[in-house]
């Protein structure tokens, strides 16, 4: 129970990686405030999973794709729990398409939903942590798309690369406040969203072909988040932790 007594906010916690992080933080003793979009059918299921672990959980529906939505989220969260020790910032939007035909409006939407939203929620929570004067942990969920220019993902690649550099900058500026700021780069993770995009047949076929013999799980990412949120990671800040089962190096397995 290395997070006993800690209070964490996880955005996008209804399903997928956000849910995996929220549940793992609860397993490690944290009480949770979880966020998902208004009308989400998934947030209550995540909350019940957390409560079955005998941890407190507050659900707040708010649109973190806007500054006003992030302000609403933080205001309501602090009304419920009075303080936040941990933030897992997980807003993201991805629209695939070829660069030459990519819709400029979609490009701006992906950058805003993935990068700008991360700025809004982290800035607001960081201000709260600084005012409290007791440090804190901020963890951004990025992607292996940040260092790797995968075709068909021009906006998402750019947003995640920007997120990494933004997080490092925030880490430098908040170091004097003893607020650790780190990034997790998931690889190919088996989530409901990935199965919607690729289909179960592709997921099941391609998983065994990866270096680790499987896709990653949301639990893999959750465990990394729990580590970075703990005192065990006290001397780690401005780091990018790749959790991908060697996905980005799979081409290295081929002989020239």
Catalytic positions: 156
Residue 149 CA to residue 111 CA, distance in Å, equals: 15
Contact between 163 and 114 under an 8 Å Cβ cutoff? The reply is yes
Which residues are within 8 A (CB) of 129 and not within 5 positions of it... i.e. 6 or more apart? 84, 85, 135, 136, 138, 174, 177, 179
CA 149, 153, 155, 158: dihedral to nearest 10 degrees? -20
**Helical spans, DSSP H, in 175-217:** 192-198, 200-206
Dihedral over Cα of 224, 191, 162, 117: its sign: negative
Furthest-apart CA atoms within the chain: distance in Å: 60
């Amino acid at each position: 129970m290395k997070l006993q007594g800690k209070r964490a906010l996880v955005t996008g916690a209804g399903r997928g990686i956000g849910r995996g992080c929220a549940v793992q933080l609860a397993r490690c003793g944290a009480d949770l405030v979880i966020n998902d979009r208004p009308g989400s059918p998934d947030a209550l299921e995540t909350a019940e999973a957390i409560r079955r672990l005998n941890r407190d959980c507050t659900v707040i529906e708010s649109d973190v794709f806007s500054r006003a939505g992030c302000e609403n989220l933080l205001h309501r969260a602090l009304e419920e729990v009075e303080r936040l020790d941990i933030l897992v910032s997980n807003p993201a939007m991805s629209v695939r398409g070829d660069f030459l035909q990519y819709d400029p409006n979609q490009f701006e939407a992906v950058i805003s939903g993935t990068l700008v939203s991360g700025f809004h929620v982290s800035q607001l929570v960081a201000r709260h942590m600084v005012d409290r004067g007791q440090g804190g942990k901020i963890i951004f969920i990025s992607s292996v798309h940040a260092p790797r220019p995968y075709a068909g993902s021009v906006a998402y690649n750019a947003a995640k690369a920007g997120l990494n550099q933004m997080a490092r900058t925030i880490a430098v500026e908040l170091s004097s406040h003893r607020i650790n700021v780190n990034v997790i780069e998931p690889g190919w993770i088996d989530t409901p969203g990935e199965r919607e995009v690729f289909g179960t047949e592709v997921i099941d076929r391609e998983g065994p072909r990866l270096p680790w013999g499987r896709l990653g799980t949301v639990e893999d990412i959750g465990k990394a988040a729990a580590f970075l949120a703990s005192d065990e990671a006290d001397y780690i800040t401005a780091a990018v932790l790749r959790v991908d089962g060697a996905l980005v190096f799979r081409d290295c397995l081929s002989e020239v």
